[in-house]
A and B are shown apart, each in its own frame.
Chain A
Amino acid sequence: DIVMTQTPLSLSVTPGQPASISCKSSQSLLHSDGKTYLYWYLQKPGQPPQLLIYEVSNRFSGVPDRFSGSGSGTDFTLKISRVEAEDVGVYYCMQSIQLTFGQGTRLEIK
């Protein structure tokens, strides 16, 4: 199984400040088709997950541009340039080669 490891597991951020979440996979997520199947989701309290980023760095429709994804191979990062109150929730990275999520990173506002 491909294991996804996120750090940190929790973040407390002042509104307007940046935030960063790391996700490392136990195997390369670069597929033979040239794509890298790494996704980022946000699960707000009481809601299903919502897709933020697909294939490492592509923002999904309607996702604010303060969210960005980067990385390659086994190391990936989600960055929020200026955290807002509505960004509270749990962030998950996910790989779709074998379908596993990271443990989740809880973001709270200071």
Chain B
Amino acid sequence: EVQLVQSGAEVKKPGESLKISCKGSGYSFTSYWIGWVRQMPGKGLEWMGIIYPGDSDTRYSPSFQGQVTISADKSISTAYLQWSSLKASDTAMYYCAAEGHVWGKGTTVTVSS
């Protein structure tokens, strides 16, 4: 079965760092791009960026350039989304998606003092 399994919910304080993960299985991880999508509470979907695990080519949406880092470790079929200094406004659900049609169940990130 093709699936993406995301890491569990996180509760962090402003200023802390965070790295969440998305592990692919059931398909050739290096052959398909993986994207990250943000959904703030009660709001719509926003693409943050995508990575092609085969060569780690990464593209960011303008709104997220410099705010997050997307990476992948093809040896363990896992993509990552990380922040160096979280803000309260980073509170959201984060989804990974492979080729736009296989989606993880989402990781809830809550940033609160």
Mark A residues whose CB is within 8 Å of B: 1, 39, 41, 43, 48-51, 54, 60, 90, 92, 94, 96, 98-104
* Total interface residues in chain B, CB < 8 Å: 18
B44 touches A99 (CB 8 A): no
Sampled A-B contacts (25; CB under 8 Å): A1-B62, A39-B100, A43-B45, A48-B104, A48-B106, A49-B45, A50-B103, A51-B101, A92-B44, A92-B45, A94-B45, A94-B100, A98-B61, A99-B35, A99-B47, A99-B59, A99-B61, A100-B47, A100-B61, A101-B44, A101-B45, A101-B46, A101-B47, A102-B44, A104-B45
**Given known contacts A1-B62, A48-B95, is B44 in contact with A103 (CB within 8 Å)?**
yes
- Our pick among B35, B62, B105 for the contact of A48 (Cβ within 8 Å) is B105
Chain B proximity of A97: nearest CB distance (Å) = 11
Q: Which residues of A contact B44 (CB under 8 A)?
A: 90, 92, 101-104
Are A99 and B45 in contact (CB-based, < 8 A)?
Answer: no
Q: Which of B77-113 contact A (CB under 8 A)?
A: 95, 97, 100-101, 103-106
